[in-house]
Amino acid sequence: MTVQNETRDVGPPDVAPDAGDGPAVPPAEFRGYVDLYGYHTLAGGWFFAGWLTRRDGLAQALAGAVARFGAEANGEPVASLFFSREDISDQGIGFLIFFRAPRATDAPFSRLQIDIDGAPQNIVPVEQAVWLPESALIRRLKSIVSLSEESFRRREMELLLDGHPDATGHGYIEYFGYHEAAGGWFLSGWISRGWSGRQAPDRWVIAFEQGDLRGDMIATTFARPELPAGAEGVVLFLRAGPAPLGTLCAVSLHAGGVRSVLAPIIAAPHLDEAELAARLTANLELARPGLARDRLTNLVARAPFRGEDTMEAFAPDVFIYVDETILCGDDGLVLMGWILAKPGEVREIRVRSGARSTILRLRDCIRIERHDVLDGFAKFGFDQANSGFIAYLPGAAEPERPIYLEVETERCEAGFRNVPRPAHTGLAAIKRLLDIVDLRFDDLRHGFDKVLGPAVDALNRARLASPVGTQIIEFGEVPKTPRFSVIVPVHGRLDFAEYQLALFSARPAAAAVEFVYVLDDPPKRREAQMLFASIYERFLIPFRVLVLDRNVGYAPANNIGLRHAHGEFVAFLNSDVFPGTADWLEQLSARLVADPQLGVVGPLLLFEDGSVQHRGMYFERLPEYGDWFFCQHHDKGLRYTGGDELQTVIAITGACMVMRRDLADRFGGFDEMFVIGDFEDSDLCLKLRAQGFSAGVDPAVRLFHLERKSQPSSSLRWRANLTAFNAWAHGQRWSETIAAAQAPGDRGQAFGGRP
């Protein structure tokens, strides 16, 4: 026995000369480029400027354009304008196009898509295409518009750049500053035409030299007797980060049909928080009574978090607690807690950690009935049975920094609640998270899409990121150049290995086989070592054991075994599968040799009574489980009456599958995103199928499968939910493929022939 250890702004590209608006060029010669673009808040949309090759019908083509930002699309072009550009001479024509869009997006701009002569064409950004902040955008576009001839289109574009105002106003910003506790920017000054309480600004932007601020704005006016008639003082607040953006350029807003631009006075002071609060408090005392004034007053008075819970100040209107947290990866966070609040009382809940602030949206949480909470707070009149919540917030935690909640009411009062430090990690965290929910139907889909799916995925990636210590123990002279490598992960029951190796020892050509057992159950290390030593002494069949220092699950355990395999063919085998055909490896590998496009092959698997356990898989949607596809087995529990010819199926079970080792290496074995076990086998088969390989079952080769006898009971709630997670992850990748390949309700051999 041997033992060893291992751990492991540029000019446009050249274009072919093209005529002006006369002769049309062939579609293949069409080119178009965007040089600059930006969002105009008051106009309510995006401007794009660039050039394209001249041809007939450009105005009509641009009228049907679609602007694409990442996966998003804006498809409502409003106006276009063409003008001459000396830099491209007669090769093309400049254009300016405006798209209506209700909001700006942070997604990167990728292209404008139009139809030319019935074919789709792309107008793409040049390598150094410029995104301009709003104030700079307006200045640049006004100079571009001035290059065009007087026309209706030019006038339309000028009106858009002015925000299509029904009426105009003006004003000045007299001071501004960032308020850290409020989490945003305050600005104050005056405006020539104010608004009533029901006509608060509905579009706005704060334009700085190096960027624009848009978002959640609160605004009010206040009395300024020294100003001209109709003019009022104004206080504005916009929640945004404190990133320095250079010089303040202007504030543009639209309220009650009036477009107003407020310019900063010369050397408008950027105040520190204390002076800012003092001046704002004085201004707000003169403001019109109402919700906006109350909100702004509370924001100005807000104190920073000092490590203490202050939520009790809200009683009896808001109660919120976090009972438990789980850290997912480096910075993802699961919160498990409960909330009771009067309807409409909570405006926003933010999770804070260091400099990070993440909104907790209850609609994205899993809601849980907490009768213990409801009973304890019945005297306050609450009747919300589903007061419990589980939230997943990616990127919410800053390492080694405290975590707390900031709860903001509709009046912008804020209270704080400390959050307990994460306690669980690794597989224990996955089990804990999946053990506290019992979801079905649409609730299951929502729960996995919003919380459990991404949280478990992050936890699993984190647990597998650290190296797995592996002790290698060889019993006897394991073949150095075997034809076959049999990989058997072991977890739970160990005695099956004894029965397997006893049967393997009877093979007439056992010397050509490399048996690799992967012990994925560290607490049973000593027991397993003693058992394997006894097995070798009795049966004298050489084999290798890989003892892992932690439980990693089916896919990683098999992949570790694959990295230690040397055979031309590799068989992935469960520990509860036993040969019924002595030369099963030779027969299955012969199928692979005979057909190079056969990527993976398996035997007919039988129960102990001789009925079918596995004859290939098909997929069936289960409405109770999110309507996701689950693997089902052909003819399960029936007697097999077919012939011995190879049967092509969409997928086979990983309980016994044989592949060429070079192909298994090429595909990286099993995908380790599937936790513990389930769906790794069908995922691998579908990956093979996508690359032109098929999967097959050879009924002439028969093995017996005790099916999950080596695994813990599936009645455990966390284990059932783990299967649901794997089904969710599998469906994210393969649902469309399965739906296209498999006829609804088809349980027969619907996949004969090549993929």
User: Quick one: average pLDDT of 699-725?
Assistant: 80
Helices (H), 151-305: 152-161, 273-284, 291-300
Q: Indicate if the pLDDT at residue 338 is higher than 90.
A: yes
pLDDT of 709 strictly over 60: no
* Single-letter amino acid, residue 596: P
Burial 692-730 (b: 16+ CB within 10 A, else e): ebbbbbbbbbbbbbbbeebbeeeeeebbbbbbbbbbbbb
Are the CB atoms for 79 and 63 separated by under 8 Å? Answer: no
Mean of per-residue pLDDT scores for the chain: 89
Alpha helices in 452-494 (DSSP H): 453-465
The reported pLDDT for the residue numbered 26 is 43
Nearest-angstrom CA–CA distance, 379 and 235: 41
Nearest Cα neighbor of 470 from 517, 502, 427 is 517
Contact assessment for residue 543 and residue 478, using Cβ atoms and an 8 Å cutoff: yes
By the 8 A CB rule, do 731 and 629 touch? Answer: yes
**Rounded Cα distance, 251 and 172, in Å:** 9
How large a percentage of the chain has pLDDT more than 90?
67
Are the C-beta atoms of residues 547 and 473 closer than 8 Å to each other? yes
> Residue 167's beta-bridge partner residues?
258
**Could you tell me the two tokens for 684?**
């691998």
Residue 749 has pLDDT above 80, yes or no: no
Query: How much is the pLDDT for 296?
Result: 97
As a whole number of angstroms, the distance between CA 73 and CA 60 comes to: 19
**Both structure tokens of 272:** 């520190």
198 pLDDT band, cuts 50/70/90, is: low
- Interacting residues of 559 by C-beta distance below 8 A, sequence separation 6+: 668, 669, 670, 672
Residues 6 or more apart whose CB falls under 8 angstroms from that of 111 comprise 68, 122, 123, 124, 125
Helices (H), 109-210: 134-145, 152-161
**What would the two tokens of residue 418 be?**
């400390």
Per-residue pLDDT tens over the stretch 366-417 = 999 999 998 888 888 888 889 999 999 999 999 899 999 999 999 999 999 9
What is the predicted pLDDT for the residue at 258? 84
Task: Say whether pLDDT at 163 is over 80.
Answer: no
**Structure token pair of residue 220:** 């009010």
More confident residue, 506 or 369: 369
Classified as helix, coil or strand, 259 is strand
Distance between CA 163 and CA 257 in Å, rounded? 11
State both tokens at 118.
């019935």
Q: Select from 421, 560, 571, 430 the least CA-distant residue to 504.
A: 571
Q: Does residue 28 carry a pLDDT above 60?
A: no
Q: Look at residue 566 in the predicted model and tell me its pLDDT.
A: 96
Confidence of residue 24 (pLDDT cuts 50, 70, 90): very low
pLDDT of residue 582: 86
Please determine, for residue 82, whether its predicted confidence score (pLDDT) is greater than 70.
yes
- Mean pLDDT computed over 692-702: 97
Strand-pair category, 569-573 with 484-490: parallel
pLDDT of residue 22: 39
CA-CA distance, 163 to 672, in Å (whole number)? 53
Over residues 257-281, the mean pLDDT reads 92
The whole-angstrom separation of Cα 308 and Cα 527 is: 51
pLDDT tens profile 48-74: 999 998 878 888 888 888 899 988 887
pLDDT confidence tier of residue 16, bands split at 50, 70 and 90: very low
* C-alpha separations of 403 from 299, 352, 394, 433 in Å: 22, 6, 14, 19
For the segment 543-601, what is each residue's pLDDT rounded down to a tens digit? 999 999 999 999 999 999 999 999 999 999 999 999 988 899 999 999 999 999 999 99
pLDDT in tens, 716-747: 899 999 999 999 999 999 999 999 988 765 55
- Tell me how crowded residue 290 is: count the other CB atoms within 10 A of its CB: 12
pLDDT of residue 508: 66
478 with 514: CB under 8 angstroms? Answer: yes
The pLDDT value recorded for residue 510 is 60
What gap in Å lies between CA 175 and CA 713, rounded to an integer?
67
Round to whole Å and give the CA distance between 128 and 181: 38
What pLDDT was estimated at residue 746?
58
DSSP string, 120-134: EEEEEEEEEEEE--H
Whether 88 shows a pLDDT value over 90: the answer reads no
Average pLDDT over residues 98-115: 87
Residue 752 confidence class, pLDDT cut points 50, 70, 90:
very low
In 3D space, the residue among 436, 315, 314, 308 whose CA is nearest the CA of residue 377 turns out to be 315
At 307, which helix (H) or strand (E)? none
**Averaged pLDDT for residues 37-52:** 90
Q: Which amino acid is at 438?
A: D
pLDDT band at 341; cut points 50, 70, 90: very high
Sign, CA torsion 617/622/626/627: positive
d(CA 508, CA 558): 26
27 pLDDT higher than 90: no
Q: Is 100 helix (H, G, I), strand (E, B) or coil?
A: strand
Beta-strand (E) ranges in 375-477?
388-393, 403-409, 414-418, 469-475
User: Which pLDDT score is estimated for 166?
Assistant: 58
**403-431 residue pLDDT tens:** 999 999 999 999 999 999 998 889 999 99
Helix H, strand E, coil C: the string for 55-92 is CCCHHHHHHCCEEEECCEEECCEEEEEEECCCCCHHHC
pLDDT at 12: 37
SS3 for 603-672 is EEEECCCCCEEECCEEEEEEHHHCCEEEEEECCCCCCCCCCCCCEEECECCCCEEEEEHHHHHHCCCCCC
pLDDT at 115: 84
Half-sphere exposure of 304 (CA within 13 A, CB side): 10
